[in-house]
Amino acid sequence: MTIRDVTLPDIARLGDATDTLDVTFQMDEDAFRSFYDRTARAVWAYISRTTGDNRLADDLMQETYYRFLRAAVTHDNETHRRHYLFRIAVNLVHDHYRRPYLHRLPEPDHRDHPQSQSGERAADRAAQRIDLTRAMARLTRRERDLLWLAYAQGSSHAEIATTLGLKTASIKSLLFRARRHLASLLGAAGPRQGQE
């Protein structure tokens, strides 16, 4: 069941008839609002850029917070809570791509992005974004997750390992290969002497 399945009469009936049901979450509303305000955009950005689909990001972000609220997990601190949230988001994205009819990222819609910029710089930025989106689409899911968490989110290796359910010791080499892959896709030649 999703919130879209709940009709207005259902909502009225729920409000009247289910006051006695246990509908509490592991977090109170004020704490949730504060946490949400600090994390929502980052979660949306992660989902949007690793799936290439803003609408999907809207849906999966709400599902992420619902599952987070529903989970009966105690969090030691803000960092732990944040990692747990991202882990839910990562799993939701992976679940989404397990569906058989989804094999590749959609082409990005850049029509509304460069409006705040102007001229050549806006065109360069738009071209760069298209290059990046295409390059990201050619990475594996794990590579996208690793690179986004490490270089967009700025997460440490230990944090990435916790979020993705990997061993911390393996993150360095995985990141190296993912970075090499993306750099080559982006055409960032640079000096290559001595590289494997």
What is the binding site for another protein (CB under 8 A)? 1-3, 5-6, 10-11, 14, 17-18, 21-23, 25, 29, 32-34, 36-37, 40-42, 44-45, 48-49, 54, 61-62, 65-66, 69-70, 112-113, 124-125, 128-129, 132, 147-148, 151-154, 172-173, 176, 179-180, 182-183, 186-196
What's the farthest any 2 CA atoms get from each other in the chain?
71
Residues 132, 126: Cα–Cα separation, whole Å: 10
- Our CB check for another protein shows the closer of 99 and 189 to be 189
- Our CB check for another protein shows the closer of 100 and 194 to be 194
C-beta separation of 132 from 140 below 8 A: no
5 exposure class (CB count in 10 Å sphere: 0-12, 13-18, 19+): exposed
How far apart are CB 196 and another protein at their closest, in Å?
4
C-beta separation of 131 from 186 below 8 A: yes
C-beta separation of 96 from 104 below 8 A: no
How far apart are CB 165 and another protein at their closest, in Å?
22
Q: Which amino acid is at 163?
A: T
How far apart are CB 112 and another protein at their closest, in Å?
8
Nearest in space to 83 (alpha carbons), one of 103, 104, 64, 56: 64
How far apart are CB 74 and another protein at their closest, in Å?
19
- Our CB check for another protein shows the closer of 102 and 183 to be 183
C-beta separation of 152 from 48 below 8 A: no
- Our CB check for another protein shows the closer of 35 and 83 to be 35
How far apart are CB 96 and another protein at their closest, in Å?
18
